[in-house]
Amino acid sequence: MKLFKHNLFVLLAISLTPAYHGVEIIGGRKVKAHSKPYMVSIQVSEDHKTYTHWCGGALISENWVLTAAHCKATMQAKWKSQVVLGAHSLSQDKKSKQTVPIIKWIDYGKFNLKVLKDDIILLKLESNVKINKYVNVLKLPKTMVTDVKPGTSCSVAGWGRTSACSENASDTLLEVKLKVIDRKTCNSKDYYNHKPEVTQDMICVGDSKGRRDSCQGDSGGPLICNKMYIGIVSYGEGCADPKNPGVYTLLTKKYLDWINKTIKAQVYNMTAEELY
């Protein structure tokens, strides 16, 4: 049974327990308050009154957030969703926080939970956020991302639990340092064994000693390597397992082109296909 990083529900006849819902940074540390103003808490509500953290994400423009497609795929249709920005503590920082409803989820159109390809989605916000010292955009790569050298140091941030045994989420933003693992190694028999296949549009990042990891709900959060926005937290089996590291959607040219076309098309109230 594959354990993914964000839900407690049965979907497409696959048991996802105990993964997906909640955020978990293992072996991480607290982030300096408001040092990552692009971080987004995607929150959901079943009763349309009380919202809880569901996924991470990155603000890429004044009214667009980039996250993982499985965050939407594992939600129930009746739920409402919103984003919270400018938060270091999810329960405090009231003056710095901005809360904006999500009005549209637009995925790449090819996401498949069984094979986990194209785990990327755009969220259109109801209104523009106010850019300030607490809330700001994370720039997408200017040049094409083809791959990242194995051994490269990267970081992931998120809110939530600090151990696999804990049921309580961290109230403050945490960060963990990880390293890129060779794709061939990640697909090898001792690792994922091509189940699922780690493709050229994905990247493995973890810790060889299993001391640190992103897990269960960091889903959708940005992967930062060499000070660049490189990828999106997608999936992994277990937490802090050195032979089952986190797998991230790599922001390759096809995804960057899609992001730019989709946002441009929405300005003209068209689909990306109609625009060209």
Segments making up each domain of the chain, as ranges:
153-252
Place of tokens 């076309």: 261
If pLDDT is split at 50, 70 and 90, which confidence band does 170 have? confident
Residue of 107, 118, 119, 213 marked active site: 119
Residue of 21, 219, 234, 241 marked active site: 219
In the CATH hierarchy, which top-level class contains the domain 153-252?
Answer: mainly beta
Mean pLDDT of 120-131: 97
Task: DSSP for 6-69, please give it.
Answer: S-SSEETTEE-TT-SSS-EEES-EEPPTTS-TTEEEEEEESSSS--EEEEEEEEEETTEEEE-H
Interval 177-206: pLDDT, tens:
889 999 999 999 998 898 889 999 999 998
Cα 35 to Cα 29: distance, rounded to the nearest angstrom: 13
Give catalytic status of residue 70 as yes or no. yes
Residue of 41, 70, 170, 207 marked active site: 70
Q: What angle is formed at CA 82 by the lines to CA 77 and CA 85, rounded to 5 degrees?
A: 155
Interval 66-88: pLDDT, tens:
999 999 988 898 999 999 999 99
Give catalytic status of residue 219 as yes or no. yes
Kindly report the three-state secondary structure assignment for every residue of 184-196.
HHHCCCCCCCCCC
